[in-house]
Amino acid sequence: MTSAVLAGSALSKHFGGVLAVDNVSIELGPDAPVTTIIGPNGAGKTTLLNLLCGAIKADGGSVRLEGQDITRTHMRQRMAMGVARTFQHTGIFRGLTPTEHLVLLANRIRGIQQLRSIADLLETFHLSVHANEAAEDLNHVSQRLLEIGTMVSTAPKVLMLDEPTAGMDLAEIAQIASVIRQLRGTMQIMIIEHDIDFVLNISDRIVVLDQGRVIASGTPSEIQRDGRVAAAYMRRGHP
Amino acid sequence: MTQALARKLPDPRRKPARYLAPYLVMGAFAVTFIALPAFGLQRSTLSLLSLAVIFGIAVMSLDYIYGYGGMMSFGHAALFGFGAYIAGFSLQLVSRELFVGLPIAVASTALLAAAWGILLGRLEGVAFAMGTLALASSLRILIIQWRDVTGGTDGLVALPLVEVFGQGLKPTAVYYLSVVIACLTFLVLRYIVRTRYGLALQAVRDNPMRAEAAGIHVYAHRVGAMSISGGIAGMAGALFVYLQGSVDPSALGWQQSGHFMIQLLMGGPGTVVGPMIAAIAMTFLQHWLSAVTTHWELILGTAVVLFVYFTPRGILPGIMDWISRYRRRKGA
Ligand SMILES: Nc1ncnc2c1ncn2[C@@H]1O[C@H](COP(=O)(O)OP(=O)(O)OP(=O)(O)O)[C@@H](O)[C@H]1O
Ligand SMILES: [Mg+2]
């Protein structure tokens, strides 16, 4: 038994001939409240997230939540147990307002306390002014924030974000970073990210994937000194 | 403390004007339609009004699964007709009491619709619509073939009047009953779609995959929505039988399903009241046009195309958008 909140061990997944995730073990625990996964395109980052949240079935390996084996559960059940995720492509409910998103999913907070929590959440995610607009009318950053906020409203134990800053400018990335810093410590956070400044700035631990394997793992400064990481990025010609 | 909190709160219950519009339209409908008989209508006009309101109820039930659930049904008339047949059977065989027959019709149709949902709930978009069409056709064929029980193509005829505590309901009473049920249906549906249960259905409509990821049981919500919608469609069917005293298989036809769908799209899915008003208006137009010209279908069809072109989201939402644009221009 470790103190990990969510732990995947020896996870593997192949698609046809491609070994997308190859014997990966990862622990998300309080020793590193914010863990980021980096790696070149096609490294298997999203596939690893999918295995951890139950969106796809692993070929081998197991997943534990607070020590309990959840390998055989699917995504909806894991969500109910406190494993929340966002997607690489923003997924909001077009016709619902931010308030309705939160009312819909804030299942652990009720009554007047719920109203207050919803107000706080809207504030935290910079959505107060848009509270009653249809989500489809919000701009890209607000939609991203809404997506994250909606997941946070379920009070998850683990929150996994797939490229939350994709397509954003510096000011917008800073906004996302500040929100994540506010959430840090209230839940275990895992982020897949390409923006290296953002990663170095936000992470307690960085895990580097390449061709389905973990090639390095450590604090931001350890990773910066690691030659293999730079090499993996060079070889693929990644930004 | 409370004050600071109150200032911060974007009260989810505070409704912007566009949430109010459907209630205003519905209020206007209720007042008008309750007042109308006082002007001494002819029997045939009253009967046409009743029919229009009854179709309006059926179209509201369709709005619930399409406007809020994203499930397009080309077989809704079959649920409507099924409710009508069940109400007819219970008049003949069980009891003439409204409070016995109506619940039987509602419950049976809700069950049938739930079964449809169980069969089709994992299909998306057009596949779902085709499924409803197929199920509706089979039901219609079954009713036509099973002549001994259903009367075949003649249907059920010369049914006794429905009664309330032993008193037969006259056409005027059926009319008022229909108007009241239309208002209740509107209020109940508008209430459901504000609850978390109804919001979940809208999440399923907008993004089934993400809804599932968010812990919402997509399939169960579809089955549940089908059953609620079916119950209401069956209730409309029962009123239809109470009004006409008869029902035949044309009530279940795909033409009727098509009319419901067109009325829904014209009125504005996701408003409940818009489609109801469209159903009423089109029932009347159809009646009048068919009296003056044999080309009424062409004229009505052209009007539908024009309306859908100029107000793609439906007439009521179109008017609401227009008003809010106008107000913004005035305000700015
Ligand atoms: N559903 C799938 N079917 C077939 N192959 C897939 C599938 N999902 C992923 N793959 C393959 O698995 C490998 C890993 O993909 P994955 O999406 O996990 O990479 P990633 O690290 O998230 O990349 P990116 O940075 O581009 O998002 C890739 O070669 C990809 O083509
Ligand atoms: Mg990816």
CA distance A22 to A42: 13
Question: Residue B3 falls within a domain, yes or no?
Answer: no
Question: Nearest CA to CA, how far is A224 from chain B (Å)?
Answer: 35
The 10s digit of each residue's pLDDT in A43-70 is 999 999 999 999 999 999 999 999 999 9
- Please report the ipTM that was assigned to this predicted complex: 0.80
The band of A2, judged by pLDDT with boundaries at 50, 70 and 90, is: low
Of the listed ligands, the closest to the CA of A42 is 1
R_g of chain B, CA atoms, integer Å: 21
Query: What tokens were used for A171?
Result: 């000011």
Contact criterion met (CB below 8 Å) for A13 and A35: no
A137-174 residue pLDDT tens? 899 999 999 999 988 888 889 999 999 998 899 999 99
Is B168 domain-assigned? yes
Could you tell me which residues come within 8 angstroms of residue A53 by beta carbon, excluding any fewer than 6 positions away? A75, A78, A79, A83, A84, A85, A160, B213
How far is the C-alpha of B248 from the C-alpha of B34, rounded, in Å? 29
> How many residues are there in chain B?
332
- For residue B2, tell me if it sits in a domain: no
Could you list the residue range(s) of the whole structural domain that residue B27 is in?
17-331
Q: Does the pLDDT of residue B74 top 60, yes or no?
A: yes
**Contact pairs from chain A to chain B, CB under 8 Å:** 79
Average pLDDT, whole number, for chain A? 88
CA A45–ligand 2 middle distance (angstroms): 6
Q: Is residue B13 pLDDT above 90, yes or no? A: no
Would the CB atoms of A95 and B206 count as touching at under 8 Å?
A: yes
Which residue on chain A is closest to B4 by alpha carbon?
Answer: A116
Residue B281 lies in a domain: yes
Q: Residue B236: name the closest of B184, B159, B164, B191 by CA.
A: B184
Cβ of A52 closer than 6 Å to ligand 1, yes or no, is no
Residue B4 inside a domain? The answer is no
Nearest to B249 by CA among B132, B124, B147, B110: B147
**Domain presence at residue B5:** no
The contacts of residue A157 (CB under 8 Å, 6+ apart) are A5, A6, A65, A66, A81, A82, A83, A187, A188
- Structural domains in chain A, CATH included, are 1-73+190-239 (3.40.50.300)
A123 to B8: CB separation less than 8 angstroms, yes or no: yes
The predicted structure's pLDDT at residue A30: 93
Domains in chain B: how many in total? 1
Question: In chain B, pLDDT over 70 holds for what percent of residues?
Answer: 94
| CATH code of residue B81 | 1.10.3470
In angstroms, rounded to a whole number, what is the distance separating the alpha carbons of residues A94 and A96? Answer: 6
Total residue count of chain A as it appears in this document: 239
- When CB atoms are compared, the residue of B11, B206, B216 closest to A96 is B206
DSSP states of A155-220: --SEEEEESTTTT--HHHHHHHHHHHHHHBTTBEEEEE---HHHHHHH-SEEEEEETTEEEEEE-H
pLDDT at A201 over 80: yes
User: B287 lies in a domain?
Assistant: yes
Is there a domain that residue B6 lies in? no
What's residue B112's pLDDT? Answer: 98
Q: Is the pLDDT of residue A236 over 60?
A: no
Residue B8 has pLDDT above 70, yes or no: no
* pLDDT above 80 (res A216): yes
